[in-house]
Homo-oligomer: A and B are copies of this chain.
Amino acid sequence: MCTTTSFRVIKADILRRISGGEWPPGSLLPNELALAREFGAARATVGRAMRELVDDGIVERKRKTGTRVRPVPLRQVRLDIPLVRVEVEAQGSSYRYALVSSESVPAPNWLRARLDLRQGAEMLHLVCLHLSDGHPYQLEDRWINLGAVPQARQADFSTLGPSEWLTRQMPFSDIEISFSASAAEPEQARQLSCAVGDPLFRIERQTFWEGRPITFVRMVYRCGHRLIARY
| Residues of A that sit less than 8 Å from B by CB | 15, 18-19, 25, 58, 72-83, 164, 167-168, 171-172, 174-183, 197-202, 224-231
Contact = CB atoms under 8 A, between A and B. Distances in A.
Contacts of A77: 78-79, 81, 177
12 contacts: A72-B168, A75-B167, A78-B78, A79-B79, A179-B179, A179-B226, A180-B225, A180-B226, A180-B227, A181-B181, A181-B225, A183-B199
A58 B227 CA distance: 23
B168 A182 contact: no
Chain multiplicity (copies): 2
A110 to B, nearest CB: 15
A177 B225 contact: no
Given A58-B172, A79-B79, 17 more contacts: A73-B167, A73-B171, A74-B80, A75-B80, A76-B79, A76-B81, A77-B79, A174-B231, A177-B229, A177-B230, A178-B229, A179-B226, A180-B181, A181-B182, A181-B201, A183-B199, A197-B197
